[in-house]
Amino acid sequence: MVVTIDRKYGSGGRMVGEKLAKRLGYRFFDRELLKIAAQESGMHEDVVQHFDEKPTGSLLYSAYLHATISVTDALPLNQKLAFAQFDVIRRVAEEGDCVIVGRCADYVLQDRDDCLNVFITATNAVRRQRLVQYYGVPQELVDKTIKKQDKTRADYYTFFTQRKWGDASNYHLCLDAGRLSLDGAAALLADAVHQLEGK
Task: List interacting residues with a copy of itself (CB under 8 A).
Answer: 8, 116, 119, 121, 166-169, 171-176, 179-181, 184, 187-188, 191-192, 195-196, 199
Q: Which residues are within 8 A (CB) of 178 and not within 5 positions of it... i.e. 6 or more apart?
A: 11, 12, 122, 123, 125, 126, 127
Residue 92 beta carbon to a copy of itself: minimum distance, rounded to whole angstroms: 21
Residue 100 beta carbon to a copy of itself: minimum distance, rounded to whole angstroms: 17
CA distance 37 to 91: 11
- Between the CA atoms of 69, 146, 173 and 23, what dihedral angle is there, to the nearest 10 degrees? 80
Task: Closer to a copy of itself by CB, 81 or 189: give it.
Answer: 189
Task: Closer to a copy of itself by CB, 57 or 166: give it.
Answer: 166
Phi, psi of 125 (to 5 degrees): -60, -45
Residue 89 beta carbon to a copy of itself: minimum distance, rounded to whole angstroms: 20
Residue 172 beta carbon to a copy of itself: minimum distance, rounded to whole angstroms: 4
CA distance 73 to 69: 7
Task: Closer to a copy of itself by CB, 40 or 167: give it.
Answer: 167
Q: Which residues are within 8 A (CB) of 33 and not within 5 positions of it... i.e. 6 or more apart?
A: 85, 88, 89, 92, 100, 103
Nearest to 189 by CA among 120, 108, 106: 120
Task: Closer to a copy of itself by CB, 61 or 119: give it.
Answer: 119
Instruction: For residue 114, give the amino acid letter.
Output: D
Residue 196 beta carbon to a copy of itself: minimum distance, rounded to whole angstroms: 7
Task: Closer to a copy of itself by CB, 72 or 169: give it.
Answer: 169
Side-chain half-sphere exposure of 31, counting CA atoms within 13 A = 7
